[in-house]
Amino acid sequence: MTDVDLRKLRYFVAVAEHLHFGRAAASLHIAQPVLSRQIRALENELKATLFERDRRSTALTPAGRQLLADAPSLLAGAEALRRRVRRAARGPRVFTVGFMPGLIVTAAVRELGARHPGLSVELVRTTWEDQVDVIRDGRVDVGYLRPPADLRGLTVRPLFTEPRVVVLPGDHRLAGREGIAAADLADEHLLQNPDAVPEWRDIGVEMRRRNRPAAPVFHSVEEKLEHVAAGRGLVILPLSVATFYTRPDIAYVPVEDLAPTAVHLAWDAARRNPLLTEFAEIAASEAAAVPR
């Protein structure tokens, strides 16, 4: 696999995603015959047929499905390498930290900078959708993660856990309570993917409806809170996120029988930069010093 041309691999992913050579070629801005030749060349290199194709359809073979499962990590690793090399070529050393909403990482960042005066420590705010992607493609060196997250290929350092709360419209019947049970929310509509709240599959009445609405796609905490304030449903968030985004038209209430959520520090397991382990020790020390 180390001899596979990454350009051909990108071409393969495009065809696998579209399952149509014409549309894939258009997305890549190349001619379809060129794309077909590149895919044939890749199949020759791998000694495997990747697509079943006829005049009406294109489908992945078992070998193609396996390559599609592995290709994103290979391409992300190559992109990460390019980013790090470009950063190193620009001059002063840079160390970039990704952090999720509600997390305050100032103390750890300042401590690393103080220990290494020639190091530029930069920050990137991430989301539930890209928190792992930015590590794999090299946009950040290390990231603070919240579950659920795909941790394959990462070195993970647990930092702390915190309670989860339900965020409700300010005039909701449960707003103002000091605490509730998850069962109190059974008839409500969850405005997020149930994978983020696994317990919802057991308590949510809507999970047993055939025509239950799909969870909308949100790109920020602010979008979620706007929908909650408008009375369209509820979200479950870590306590630190809810308190960070406090506003007068919503309320957050602890859910006493939901398991706490974790915050981890993670980085690419293949990397051996000593700054990674140093920052992890600093982050763990700072997290332990904060009362929870």
Domain ranges of the chain: 6-78, 92-161+261-288, 164-254
Does the domain at 92-161+261-288 match CATH 3.40.50.720? Answer given as no
CATH topology (fold) of 164-254: D-Maltodextrin-Binding Protein; domain 2 (3.40.190)
Q: Do domains 6-78 and 92-161+261-288 have the same CATH topology?
A: no
Contacts of 33 (CB under 8 A, 6+ apart): none
Instruction: Please state the pTM of the whole predicted model.
Output: 0.69
Q: Going residue by residue through the chain (292 aa), what tens digit of pLDDT does each one get?
A: 446 788 888 899 999 999 999 899 899 888 888 899 889 989 988 989 999 988 788 999 999 999 998 888 888 777 777 777 776 666 558 899 999 999 999 999 999 999 999 899 999 999 988 999 999 988 999 999 998 899 989 999 999 999 999 999 999 999 989 999 999 999 999 998 888 888 888 888 888 777 776 777 787 899 999 999 999 999 999 999 999 998 999 999 999 999 999 999 999 998 889 999 999 999 999 999 988 7
Q: How many CA atoms lie within 13 A of 68 on its CB side?
A: 18
CATH topology (fold) of 6-78: Arc Repressor Mutant, subunit A (1.10.10)
Contact assessment for residue 129 and residue 221, using Cβ atoms and an 8 Å cutoff = no
Number of helical (H) and strand (E) elements in the chain, helices listed first: 10, 10
Contact assessment for residue 218 and residue 182, using Cβ atoms and an 8 Å cutoff = no
